[in-house]
Structure 1
Amino acid sequence: MRWRPRAAPTRAKERANISFFIFIMFFAVFGVIILTELLLLERPPVNSARSRYSDALQGWEGRTETGADGVDPPPPAHSALDAVWQPVAGTRFKFFVYSAYVEGRTTDAVRVIAATKTRGADAVVCRLWLLDNRTLTVKARVKPIRENWNLKYSASYVLCSLRNTGVRAQETAGAVVAVLAEAVAHRAPTNLLPVLDTLPKPGIEENLHVCVKPFHYSYARDSWLVEWFELNRLLGASHFYMYNESLSTQVACVLDRYRREGLVTLLQWKLPLVSKVEIRTEGQFAAFNDCLYRSMSSAGWLLVIDVDEVVLPRRERTLPALLTALRSSYNPPSRAPSAFLFRNAFFYLRWKDDAEAPAPLLTARKTRRWAAPHAIKNRSKYALRPTDAVELGNHFIWELAPGASAVGVPTDRALLHHYRMACEFGGMQCIMVPSTIDRTAHRWVEELMQRVTAEKQQLARTCPA
């Protein structure tokens, strides 16, 4: 019988070899898939819009964005707008921006005046279009302005950090900035703000400018407003910053006349938040701080008061003379304060007119006031060097620059005359509070009467009755 080779074991061995090969190939392919996934996670494809911007937004060290490196941000959607409340799209909560300023005193940044949620504000970033055609995306910090009365929304700062970008703050003057929600930073911006310069100009040391909170409830005291303007001009004020939420037709005409004379910067103020419900009165703390930075390049002194208040010096004729004298009393001069707070005294308009009033002016007729003025920081108002302040409040300064200080002014040097319509805590306050006669305002009455009369004659020809 002839021998034949056994085929079955050979076929089994071949099948085993094939199975082993398939097993090895399976793990090889699986390994390639896993490695590919890992590489894709580390380096997103440049054709993906989301991945292009997530790469630019990681690290927040201020990456310069150009088409050459694959990052080409959307161009501005419209021209930059100053002093207009503009929305930040894509946020969970309401978020609006108003103005932007160079901040180069203690850090290099762009400071944006904003209004948003007091606590837990949305994360945002800043995109800058510089004058040399560079585009820069930087991290931003939202900082609520402290005087917010714990309401849901607050006047806030957005600080666009220039740290590690190689860009100095002063290089951003004249640039355009947009505030973007971090979650949708790859989209075109819904706001564009020109970055305004804050570098003081030469020769402004004695310039006194005045800040006033937003007009609202269709403010209509036009006759008094003329007297208030002319008295402050006699006291040395050369410019006024005002914010218009709503005005009567007559007051609007008065302000327009002063604006055309170069005395008033009148800014629109239509903040889309409910006053006293969502945010403190008309977002007034955003206005105070916008005024601070807006005046920084041109004002040596800034006086923050309301339109029913006047600061009257007791010895000097003007406020710049008073402030200069107060600072010169410090030795060495480097120790001189940067801000002076004036104590408040109410002159209630419901009290009887002064029988000895030399003119029909309100400040001449209303000379009875509280005998004891309020304490400093209780209804006080203030004058300050703008370059030495960081954050303003209503009755005092929340934050000064390092090394700067604020002091109260003795009442024998100056007093805040507060011509208030309503008595505090009801009508009984008018009867019960100890009062005294104060005719300090009569020092200016003759010249003031001449100026008010002339101004009202001019207004009678230009403003409707």
Structure 2
Amino acid sequence: MPIRRRLGYLPALVLIFFLCVLLYAFQLHSLISTSRSIDGIEQTADQLDNYKDEPPNKAQLKLQNSPLENEADTADKALLESPVQDWVKFVRLSDDIFLYSVILDLRDGNMDYPCVRIVAIVRRRQSITCNFAGNSSVAASFYELSENHGLSYGAFVLSCKIPQQIKPETVTSFIVQQDETKTYVNVQYTVTEKVPPSMPLTYGICIPVLYGSRYGAANLVEFMELNRIIGAGHVFIYLQHDRLSAEMIKVVNYYKAKRMLTTLEFKLPVSEQIIWYYGQLLAIQDCLYRNMGFAKYLAFQDLDELFVPYSSENIVSMLNPLFSANSSLASLRIPTRYIKASEEELAHPPLAMKLTMAAEAEDVLFTKCVVRPEMVFEQGIHHTSRVIQHHYQTVALPSSFGQLHHYKNYPSSVSNERVPKTYGKKFLARYEQVISELQVKS
């Protein structure tokens, strides 16, 4: 074959070669891009799987959350950005003392200041010191909470005044020492000297300890949806996750995903029989201090209780004028109105829509409280035990303003349809939607 004829094929061969190179490069680029996308998705999924209740850093995860619902409280976004962890663990100092919450308290008050405080389980008072930077050592004082009832272990607050040579706001960690035992602790909550001009959360609810199998998943749905309508922005529940049913876990995860619920692992280091009422005093103090500077109003109640406003349909609209009219008002004691409910009825929610027979008189002894957290030093189960300034007040709320509906088997003779008539239509629509979506037994 002549050389000229052979060379005639060369341009075509070169063109085919370059086209093959370009095609290979394009496929390689696509493969790399796909691999990166898969890696990114897997990394995000791993982070969310590991989130659970011990996030390494909320700030790293906040951009991965879905957009907030329009009707959600502004606290939803604030919770994503808050440095407050949603887990607290007991730390053993000795068989006599277990440390729980660690607080930097800069408030000027009647309990000395500025201090670091530790909410703790104590069997015997020991010689404890707080060792700060620069070899500054301060003896801890012991403050016993008022509802320990003489059991072997009790709830205490240990306080160490910060030495004058140390700038209080710089304290982020210190050493707690008993004899030769030393434990390094980090400050979990900082209570500032001045009250912030505004709070991320307007009205929050603390459920100290969710125990036993009395409450089902549908009970939690009812509690969350009713309180959401009434005006609650966020709920904090202390519980043991390994004791929850599969249905309850489903409901918990649903409301956590909506940023309406924070669950805190609460596993006592001592037997429940040797500390008062499942140790809930410790959970109450932790919830109180973690919400200082975060929640404007904070209520303490159980899952079978509902704080119902009577002077307004919205609880914040009811609270605002009361607290605004009295700058010294630290706590409102809410009278309890028992709503008759048999054990069988309690097992089949929604309770508030079906049960309307109430006790004739309210209970003014076993009350629950709504507080301004930063004004309180010690919160009890049924009353505010100590305020941080002597002139701060705890006041009984007139029943015409609001009542705590407590659903239990109690003699009742008066009809009370406040809840179903005021919130029934809106509540039932939401309740049935969630029950259906999660396929929860009601």
**Distance in structure 1 (CA, Å) of the matches to 2:132 and 2:220:** 41
Q: Is the alpha carbon distance of 1:351 and 1:108 closer, same or farther for their aligned partners in structure 2, counting shifts above 3 Å?
A: closer
- 1:121 matched to 2:110? The reply is no
Opposite residue 355 of structure 2, the aligned amino acid is: K
Contact 1:311–1:415 (8 Å) recurs in 2:
yes
Matching residue of 1:150: 150
Deviation at 1:457, TM superposition (A): 2.9
Matching residue of 2:97: 95
Deviation at 1:346, TM superposition (A): 1.2
Q: Is the alpha carbon distance of 1:257 and 1:198 closer, same or farther for their aligned partners in structure 2, counting shifts above 3 Å?
A: farther
Contact 1:81–1:192 (8 Å) recurs in 2:
no
Deviation at 1:160, TM superposition (A): 1.9
**Distance in structure 1 (CA, Å) of the matches to 2:343 and 2:96:** 45
Opposite residue 325 of structure 1, the aligned amino acid is: P
**Distance in structure 1 (CA, Å) of the matches to 2:121 and 2:343:** 40
Select the residue among 372, 375, 380 that pairs with 1:388.
Answer: 375
Deviation at 1:348, TM superposition (A): 2.0
**Distance in structure 2 (CA, Å) of the matches to 1:171 and 1:313:** 42
Select the residue among 178, 191, 194 that pairs with 1:198.
Answer: 191
Q: Could you list the per-position Cα deviations for residues 355-389 of structure 1 after superposition, in whole angstroms to 9, with x for gaps in the alignment?
A: xxxxx8321110001011112xx111110100100
Select the residue among 342, 352, 365 that pairs with 2:334.
Answer: 342
**Distance in structure 1 (CA, Å) of the matches to 2:261 and 2:363:** 30
Matching residue of 1:367: 356
- 1:447 matched to 2:426? The reply is yes
* 1:307-326 paired onto structure 2 within 5 Å: 307-326=303-322
Matching residue of 2:27: none
Instruction: Give RMSD over aligned pairs.
Output: 2.5
Q: Is the alpha carbon distance of 1:255 and 1:153 closer, same or farther for their aligned partners in structure 2, counting shifts above 3 Å?
A: same
Deviation at 1:150, TM superposition (A): 1.1
Q: Is the alpha carbon distance of 1:222 and 1:348 closer, same or farther for their aligned partners in structure 2, counting shifts above 3 Å?
A: same
Gap runs ≥5 in structure 2: 1-84
Larger Rg: 1
Contact 1:313–1:413 (8 Å) recurs in 2:
yes
Opposite residue 353 of structure 2, the aligned amino acid is: A
Matching residue of 1:438: 416
**Distance in structure 1 (CA, Å) of the matches to 2:285 and 2:101:** 10
How high is the TM-score relative to the length of structure 1? Answer: 0.69
Deviation at 1:450, TM superposition (A): 1.4
Q: Is the alpha carbon distance of 1:264 and 1:137 closer, same or farther for their aligned partners in structure 2, counting shifts above 3 Å?
A: farther
Matching residue of 1:413: 401
Q: Could you list the per-position Cα deviations for residues 250-287 of structure 1 after superposition, in whole angstroms to 9, with x for gaps in the alignment?
A: 21221122122222221111111111x31012210011
Q: Could you list the per-position Cα deviations for residues 322-375 of structure 1 after superposition, in whole angstroms to 9, with x for gaps in the alignment?
A: 1112234x4xx44x522111111111212998xxxxxx8321110001011112
Opposite residue 280 of structure 2, the aligned amino acid is: Q
How high is the TM-score relative to the length of structure 2? Answer: 0.73
Greater relative contact order (CA < 8 Å, ≥ 6 in sequence): 2
Deviation at 1:179, TM superposition (A): 2.4
**Distance in structure 2 (CA, Å) of the matches to 1:179 and 1:261:** 38
Opposite residue 433 of structure 2, the aligned amino acid is: A
Contact 1:381–1:395 (8 Å) recurs in 2:
yes
Runs of 4+ in 1 over 6 A off after TM superposition: none
Matching residue of 1:9: none
Contact 2:175–2:182 (8 Å) recurs in 1:
no
Deviation at 1:464, TM superposition (A): 10
Opposite residue 302 of structure 1, the aligned amino acid is: L
- 1:110 matched to 2:99? The reply is no
Contact 2:127–2:139 (8 Å) recurs in 1:
no
Q: Secondary structure at the match of 2:436?
A: helix
Q: Secondary structure at the match of 2:205?
A: strand
Identity %: 23
Q: Could you list the per-position Cα deviations for residues 147-171 of structure 1 after superposition, in whole angstroms to 9, with x for gaps in the alignment?
A: 1011111111111221x43224333
Q: Secondary structure at the match of 2:329?
A: coil
Q: Secondary structure at the match of 1:419?
A: strand
Contact 1:81–1:194 (8 Å) recurs in 2:
no
Opposite residue 399 of structure 2, the aligned amino acid is: T
Select the residue among 139, 152, 176 that pairs with 1:179.
Answer: 176
Q: Could you list the per-position Cα deviations for residues 34-74 of structure 1 after superposition, in whole angstroms to 9, with x for gaps in the alignment?
A: xxxxxxxxxxxxxxxxxxxxxxxxxxxxxxxxxxxxxxxxx
Q: Could you list the per-position Cα deviations for residues 68-118 of structure 1 after superposition, in whole angstroms to 9, with x for gaps in the alignment?
A: xxxxxxxxxxxx9960011004xxx4211112111111211011111012x
Q: Secondary structure at the match of 2:269?
A: coil
Matching residue of 1:56: none
Contact 1:391–1:398 (8 Å) recurs in 2:
yes
Q: Secondary structure at the match of 1:83?
A: coil
Opposite residue 308 of structure 2, the aligned amino acid is: L
Q: Between Structure 1 and Structure 2, which shows a larger proportion of helix residues?
A: 2
**Distance in structure 2 (CA, Å) of the matches to 1:234 and 1:306:** 18
Q: Is the alpha carbon distance of 1:447 and 1:87 closer, same or farther for their aligned partners in structure 2, counting shifts above 3 Å?
A: same
